[in-house]
């Protein structure tokens, strides 16, 4: 990573930012350093945020309205200087241009909207009037038939009843009839007779003692019972006489039959007439809708032609002004971009940031592009990262082969490496896959994991499944390699055993040998991590830090601990004899170095030997003793999961013998492989991550770096001078 500083005149600031943004290789940061402190007191310049808020909404609205690209022109140098000296004036001109062009285009759009609204309103009025007339005519026809039917049914319902001796009769809504009957039931001497005369009404005749007549009239008022004369008209009086009812019924039926015949004379019955009316009404509405659609289309085509003409006029007469307005917008957008902090002085604009060493060529080319546009030299400086620099971003490494690129996530989940430490991008993949293979060594299952990884990586280009696919590939390869070393394929340990003798000890039959191997691997991994940690301390400019618990002290302790443990086992676990072994003294030296490191550090910084440094030394000694033991014993989980995987093979064989099927299917083997490809796969992955992040990377990885986020802006479509 390189630290870059650019110093330019204020009028070229937007050009520099535009070129850097188009190159996309520099992360800009706040300008810092003793050389620039004096400039922080100078005037900061105009309020670009307010000016941007004035232009931005108008420009974005314009971009939605126009269907052509605006040619972006780089103004002449005098104009650029004027943008710097009088940004308010230039912004006002840009706003006026945008308002003028937007007004022209919106006038056409609004005319189209008004015309469409007029056409729609007129069509809706026609439909509304036509529907009202149709429904009135249909309702009248249906009501006329209902009235005839009600008259006839009412006369039939009267039958031979003597209405003169009744307490009252009339027509009631059928919904109220039951409630009326419940009320009258309280008077046993009062009788009610009811007959339906249409779908919603019934004729009721009340009989009983004369003294109940007033109560019946009150009930008629409450339950809205109306007189039959409303239906029968002039015939209501004659209908009281039972002898005249037959003639009246014949009269009504004759008139009704004549009305029906008049309808049928037109070649249709009543229901068909209603259906025909409905169909004609729907057809009329459809015709009106089609007419409206056609009018809207004609109007839209007309407006489109006008809009194209107006656009062409704007493109011809306003392009120069629009180009200046676009440049003004771009300049203000860059000036207020929080990703591009610029130190603005009375004379210069200063930018500072970080560029990966591999991209210095692109950075230099971006500066040359500005020089070609302006004809003047752009001052820029490229420096190496210094030990005191803070917040240096970490660019993602370009990993080969390409399928490993997504595994950069394996490192960044623990944090981003800073500029003063070793980047473990490749090493984390190797260690993780190696540990996983030791726990999950199986050729067949490893092949399945590899194929799943290839499938996911090809199908998904982003998201969690992409990262999972990239991780499955080294996991599958490691499982295949260690599967051959263990001699296991889909939990079957007989197929490969007939071909060769496995190189690694069988976890079930040679557990002690496997534990010794795991202890050796643990010691090697921890020591490698500590060596890298010591390197990081030296790189940070703290060589004394490489002597203690994060360097040589812990290295000697872990090495001595491993050698002493192996000697202790080889001599039959004689504790006193092991204390005289040279490896034990190496352990002691390592702990003493961990004690001495903070004391030396204190002396080096002129603080002398005090209680604080001695306390830190004791803490370092105890941490070395405890942490070294914990780290080595933590690796025993590798042996435990390798043993668990091998035990699944034994369980599969036992299940095959226990389950007898008519068809020779190794059901037990299938079940155990499903278990291995689910629960054990997840468990082994989690344990591998734990060993990677804590036992290995914890020895050297600080993870306090920040991700590299280069400043980017879309490259201008066309630039003219």
Given a cut of 50, is residue 487 above it in pLDDT? yes
What pLDDT, in 10s, does the model give residues 314-362? 888 888 888 888 888 888 888 888 888 888 888 888 899 999 988 999 9
Angle between helices 270-317 and 87-158 (to 10 degrees): 180
What pLDDT, in 10s, does the model give residues 524-580? 999 999 999 999 888 888 888 888 888 899 999 999 999 998 888 888 888 888 888
Residues 596, 548 contacting (CB under 8 angstroms):
yes
Given a cut of 60, is residue 715 above it in pLDDT? no
Of residues 693 and 154, more confidently modeled: 693
Q: How far apart are CA 430 and CA 446, in angstroms?
A: 16
Phi-psi region of 7 (alpha: psi -120 to 50; beta: other; left: phi over 0): beta
Of residues 100 and 247, more confidently modeled: 100
Sequence-distant (≥ 6) Cβ neighbours of residue 592 within 8 angstroms: 553, 621
Q: Residue 721: its pLDDT value, please?
A: 32
Lowest mean pLDDT among 406-410, 467-471, 628-632, 668-672: 668-672
Q: Residue 162: its pLDDT value, please?
A: 63
Nearest to 432 by CA among 597, 232, 265, 638: 638
Average pLDDT over residues 389-411: 85
Residues 206, 180 contacting (CB under 8 angstroms):
no
Secondary element (H or E) of residue 120: helix 87-158
What pLDDT, in 10s, does the model give residues 504-529? 888 888 888 889 999 999 999 999 99
Q: Residue 165: its pLDDT value, please?
A: 72
* pTM passes above 0.95: no
- Work out the mean pLDDT of the chain and round it to a whole number: 85
Q: Would you kindly state where each structural domain of the chain is located, as residue ranges? A: 143-266
In sequence order, what are the beta bridge partners of 207? 191
Q: DSSP of 433-463, one letter per residue? A: HHHHHHHS--HHHHHHHHHHHHHHHHH-SSS
Could you count the other beta carbons within 10 Å of the beta carbon of residue 207?
19
Q: How far apart are CA 474 and CA 425, in angstroms?
A: 13
Given a cut of 60, is residue 717 above it in pLDDT? no
What pLDDT, in 10s, does the model give residues 221-264? 888 888 877 777 777 777 777 777 788 888 888 888 888 888 77
Q: How far apart are CA 339 and CA 267, in angstroms?
A: 83
Q: How far apart are CA 282 and CA 288, in angstroms?
A: 10
């Amino acid at each position: 990573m390189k630290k870059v500083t650019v110093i330019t005149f204020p009028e070229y600031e937007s050009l520099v930012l535009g070129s850097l943004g188009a190159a996309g290789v520099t992360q800009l940061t706040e300008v810092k350093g003793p050389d620039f402190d004096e400039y922080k007191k100078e005037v900061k310049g105009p309020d670009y945020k307010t000016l941007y808020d004035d232009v931005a909404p108008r420009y974005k609205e314009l971009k939605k309205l126009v269907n052509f690209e605006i040619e972006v022109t780089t103004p002449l140098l005098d104009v650029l200087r004027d943008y710097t000296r009088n940004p308010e004036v230039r912004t006002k001109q840009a706003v006026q241009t945008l308002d003028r062009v937007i007004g022209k285009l919106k006038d056409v759009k609004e005319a189209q909207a008004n015309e469409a609204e007029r056409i729609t309103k007129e069509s809706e009025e026609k439909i509304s009037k036509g529907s009202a007339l149709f429904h009135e005519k249909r309702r009248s026809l249906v009501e006329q038939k209902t009235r005839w039917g009600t008259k006839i049914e009412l006369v039939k319902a009267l039958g031979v009843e003597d209405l003169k001796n009744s307490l009252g009769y009339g027509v009631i809504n059928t919904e109220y009839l039951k409630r009326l009957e419940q009320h009258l039931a309280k008077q046993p001497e009062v009788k009610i007779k009811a007959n339906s005369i249409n779908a919603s009404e019934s004729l009721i005749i009340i009989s009983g003692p004369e003294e109940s007549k007033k109560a019946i009239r009150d009930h008629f008022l409450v339950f809205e019972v109306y007189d039959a004369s409303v239906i029968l008209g002039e015939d209501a009086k004659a209908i009281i006489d039972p002898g005249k009812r037959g003639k009246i019924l014949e009269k009504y039926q004759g008139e009704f039959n004549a009305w029906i015949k008049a309808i049928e004379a037109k070649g249709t019955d009543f229901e068909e007439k209603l259906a025909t009316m409905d169909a004609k009404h729907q057809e009329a509405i459809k015709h009106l809708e089609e007419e409206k659609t056609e009018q809207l289309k004609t109007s839209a085509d007309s407006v489109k032609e006008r809009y194209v003409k107006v656009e062409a006029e704007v493109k011809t007469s306003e392009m120069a002004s629009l180009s200046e307005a676009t440049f003004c917008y771009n300049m203000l957008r860059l000036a207020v971009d929080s990703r591009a902090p610029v130190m603005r002085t009375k004379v210069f604009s200063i930018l500072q940031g970080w560029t990966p060493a591999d991209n210095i060529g692109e950075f230099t080319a971006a500066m040359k592009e500005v020089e070609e546009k302006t004809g003047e030299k752009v001052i820029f400086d490229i420096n190496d990262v210094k030990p005191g620099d803070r917040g240096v971003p970490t660019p993602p490494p370009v990993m080969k082969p390409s399928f490993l690129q997504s595994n950069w996530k394996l490192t960044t989940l623990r944090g981003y490496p800073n500029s003063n430490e070793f980047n473990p991008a490749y090493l984390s993949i190797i260690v993780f896959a190696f540990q996983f293979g030791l726990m999950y060594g199986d050729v067949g299952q490893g092949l399945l994991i590899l194929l799943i990884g290839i499938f996911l990586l090809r199908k998904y280009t982003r998201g969690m499944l992409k990262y999972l696919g990239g991780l499955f590939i080294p996991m599958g390869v490691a499982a295949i390699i260690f599967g051959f070393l263990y001699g296991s394929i889909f939990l079957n340990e007989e197929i490969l055993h007939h071909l060769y003798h496995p190189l690694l000890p069988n976890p079930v039959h040679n557990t002690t040998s496997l534990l010794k191997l795991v202890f050796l691997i643990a010691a090697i991994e921890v020591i490698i991590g500590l060596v890298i940690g010591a390197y990081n301390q030296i790189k940070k400019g703290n060589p004394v830090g490489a002597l203690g618990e994060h360097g040589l002290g812990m290295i000697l302790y872990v090495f001595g601990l491993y050698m002493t443990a192996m000697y202790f086992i080889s001599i039959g676990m004689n504790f006193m004899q092991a204390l005289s072994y040279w490896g034990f003294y190496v352990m002691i030296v390592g702990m003493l170095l961990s004690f001495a490191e903070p004391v030396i550090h204190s002396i080096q910084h002129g603080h002398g030997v005090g209680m604080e440094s001695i306390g830190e030394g004791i803490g370092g000694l105890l941490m070395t003793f405890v942490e070294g033991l914990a780290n080595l014993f933590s690796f025993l989980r590798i042996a435990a999961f390798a043993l668990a995987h091998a035990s699944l093979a034994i369980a599969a064989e036992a299940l095959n013998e226990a389950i007898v099927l008519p068809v020779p299917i190794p059901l037990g083997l299938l079940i155990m492989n499903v278990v291995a490809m689910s629960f054990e796969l997840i468990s082994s992955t989690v344990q591998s991550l734990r060993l990677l992040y804590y036992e290995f990377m914890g020895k050297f990885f600080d993870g306090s770096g920040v991700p590299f986020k280069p400043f980017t802006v879309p490259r201008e479509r066309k630039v003219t001078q």
